[in-house]
Amino acid sequence: MKERILITGGSGFIGSNLAAALLKRANTDVVIADDFSSGDWRNLINVDAEVRAVFCDDPQLLQDIANGHFSAIYHEAAITDTTIMDQKLMMNVNTDAFAAILEASSKSGTRVIYASSAGTYGNSPAPNSIGSGEEPENIYGFSKLAMDRIAARWYDKHSAPIIGLRYFNVYGPGEHHKNEREGTKTASMILQWFQSIQAEKPIRMFEFGEQRRDFVYIGDVIGANLAALETPRSGVCNVGSGKARSYNDIVNNLNRILNIDYPVEYIHNPYPFFQDHTEADLTESKTLLDWQPQWTLEQGMDDYIRLLQIGHRGPVETA
């Protein structure tokens, strides 16, 4: 009998990569629920999944969840633009809809794996550990922390595990659409700066490029998600590389890969909530998921730039 796995937000960056990876498994069907407000249909061209153009708390979808139509649920749908300041909108979309999914899944005893975020840590000192320094700097980070807290209240009432994955700075194929929106671009700086180089435009970086982030390749993110299908208990864990790298490191790697010496234009940072240093403590990830990252920044960027150079836009081939 085939597994039938639901992915909300399945046309987005992580959701589409996850769908492609799950479909490589034997006896697995995937159902994608996405309102296409921020995802991209092009990510699904080569992903043979059932697609429903609905919001993630659509009444019929919640009824299907409650009736046990799915063997597992991946909840990736969210507002991911961290510059949005509409508090009610952010909480409605990110937090309230998640609560509805948990209530429905509790009736059927369906495993839920959901996207949390390193934004829950704000600018608290790194390395970032579960249960410590959870002090978000914006409404996006708070909405994700609220999700983790809602999930924790369901642990004892939910017969199947609920697993939260706090993504750090994810990059890789499938994120092009995040750089094509009007207004704020939310794709990784790796893609943004690669495209700047290709267009012979300036690389602009906040002064002076020494901010450090935990950059994690999409292949590792998918590995963590697949591991979450097997974990026997509920909990939250970080999904990162476990090693912070600077924005200058990104440009240095681009120069190395492309064999160039591209100049950088340093600019003032206008965002007071900008995280200066994130680094995932992976203790809980190893314990809860029996998972650890496989890609260094250099390896991930080598693979990603190779795919970009041949025009590959869809989900990663290495998942």
Q: Is 178 a catalytic residue?
A: yes
Rounded to an integer, what distance in angstroms lies between the CA atom of residue 159 and that of residue 144? 23
d(CA 139, CA 141): 5
Dist CA 265 CA 203 (whole Å): 6
Selecting among 121, 167, 171, 178, the annotated active-site residue is: 178
Cα dihedral 244→275→172→14 (10° resolution)? 120
| 275 contact partners, CB below 8 Å, separation of at least 6 | 118, 119, 121, 122, 123, 137, 211, 213
**DSSP of 179-238:** GSSSS---S-HHHHHHHHHHTT--EEEETTS--EE-EEEHHHHHHHHHHTTT-SS-EEEE
Cα–Cα separations (whole angstroms), residue 45 to 11, 19, 135, 161, 180: 10, 12, 39, 32, 18
Residues in the chain: 319
Query: In this structure, what token pair is assigned to residue 183?
Result: 């207004």
Spatial distance between the Cα atoms of 15 and 67, rounded to a whole number of angstroms: 23
> What type of residue sits at position 271?
Y
Question: Residues with Cβ < 8 Å from 232, sequence gap 6 or more?
Answer: 161
DSSP state of 125: P
Set 121, 140, 167, 171: catalytic member: 140
131 SS3 class: coil
Would you tell me the crossing angle of helices 189-198 and 297-309 to the nearest 10 degrees? 40
Any idea which residues carry the catalytic annotation?
Answer: 140, 178
